[in-house]
């Protein structure tokens, strides 16, 4: 497989349109965090309650907090998944992407990078064409003129300078066979691991699995406390690595990590969830479900016999 083919595969994982691409995972995470920030600001502005605290419903806001933190931690955990990009258990994750790039690091030659990105290797001829074009425009009396991509020699030179730094060499040592240093991927993997390690432990022991006390003791999981600060730091680290891979390693476009809503996200936000007159309807919903839960206590030996033993007889 050529570098260009592998690059296309990596870009699909990083910023493709699939619902699980790394870009789309980050979009969902950042949008939810922005929403939670809005909710927190609304909480700060809530009027005080006579009995203490503020005039906000505890049932609703505990539910919002739990849902937000659990979903955010799972999202971070998914981006740190160590499964490969290919195979029966393949996933789209930053860790998996970085390991795949590391595995194919020899494909990252300076020459193959320029070819895959559609750039001329030598900026000299492009600069000559630009100088000729600029002189023609100046002779025509134009002081300001636009530069099309095929005349932008500075873009070629800038990419060479980026390749120098990624390969860990100086300008005078440039060669077509230069490859990105494996240390680049090692450092990016460490950055992702630092962002994810505590959150991954928490998810593994408390969310994805109901770990026993003995299992939790192996990593002192009960001492873990994930705060909003942890979530923000993980966001920042994961977005930084994604941006770096997209722009500097794969030479693609910069990713906007917070999607712009195509609607007014604050429409009706000032409206109460329900009127005081309709509160009894909510109490009834709660009572109905309470009764439904209690019905489980009525399922005993007679019900067991009827449901399973009779089914076994029918199968004979």
Residue-by-residue DSSP string for 184-224 = HHHHHHHHHHHHHHHHHHHIIIIISS---HHHHHTTTGGG-
Query: pLDDT tens, position by position, for the chain (316 residues)?
Result: 899 999 999 999 999 999 999 999 999 999 999 999 999 999 999 999 999 889 999 999 999 999 999 999 999 999 999 999 999 999 999 999 999 999 999 999 999 999 999 999 998 888 888 778 777 777 777 775 667 777 888 999 999 999 999 999 999 999 999 999 999 999 999 999 999 999 999 999 999 999 999 999 999 999 999 999 999 999 999 999 999 999 999 999 999 999 999 999 999 999 999 999 999 999 999 999 999 999 999 999 888 888 887 766 655 5
Q: What is the pTM of this model?
A: 0.90
- In sequence order, what are the residues at sequence separation of 6 or more whose Cβ sits closer than 8 angstroms to the Cβ of residue 207? 70, 73, 74
pLDDT for position 315: 57
> What DSSP element (H or E) covers 286?
helix 279-295
pLDDT for position 253: 93
pLDDT for position 124: 86
Chain-centre distance for alpha carbon 286: 36
Buried residues in 110-140 as b, exposed as e (16+ CB within 10 A): bebbbebeebeeebeebbeebeeeeeeeeee
pLDDT for position 262: 94
């Amino acid at each position: 497989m050529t570098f260009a083919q592998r690059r296309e595969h990596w870009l699909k994982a990083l910023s493709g349109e699939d619902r699980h691409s790394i870009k789309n995972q980050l979009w969902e995470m950042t949008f939810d965090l922005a929403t939670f920030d809005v909710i927190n600001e609304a909480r700060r502005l809530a009027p005080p309650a006579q009995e203490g605290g503020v005039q906000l419903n505890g049932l609703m806001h505990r539910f919002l907090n739990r849902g937000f933190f659990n979903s955010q931690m799972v999202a971070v955990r998914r981006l740190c998944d160590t499964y490969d990009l290919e195979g029966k258990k393949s996933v789209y994750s930053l860790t998996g992407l970085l390991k795949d790039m590391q595995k194919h690091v020899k494909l990252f030659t300076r020459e193959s990078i320029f070819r895959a990105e559609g750039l001329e290797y030598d900026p000299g001829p492009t600069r000559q064409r630009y100088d000729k074009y600029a002189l023609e425009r100046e002779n025509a009396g134009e002081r300001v003129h636009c530069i099309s991509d095929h005349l932008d020699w500075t873009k070629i030179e800038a990419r060479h300078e980026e390749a120098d730094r990624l390969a860990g060499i100086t300008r005078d040592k440039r060669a077509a066979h230069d490859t990105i240093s494996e240390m680049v991927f090692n450092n990016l993997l460490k950055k992702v691991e630092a962002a994810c390690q505590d959150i991954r432990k928490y998810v593994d022991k408390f969310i994805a699995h109901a770990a026993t006390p003995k299992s939790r003791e192996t990593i002192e999981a009960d001492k873990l406390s994930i705060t909003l600060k942890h979530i923000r730091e993980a966001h920042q680290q994961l977005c930084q690595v994604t941006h770096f891979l997209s722009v500097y390693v794969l030479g693609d476009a910069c990713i906007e990590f917070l999607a712009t809503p195509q609607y007014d996200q604050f429409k009706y936000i000032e409206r109460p969830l329900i009127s005081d007159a309709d509160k009894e309807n909510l109490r009834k919903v709660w009572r109905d479900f309470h009764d439904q839960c209690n019905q489980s206590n009525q399922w005993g030996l007679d019900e067991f016999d009827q449901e399973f033993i009779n089914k076994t007889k029918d199968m004979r």
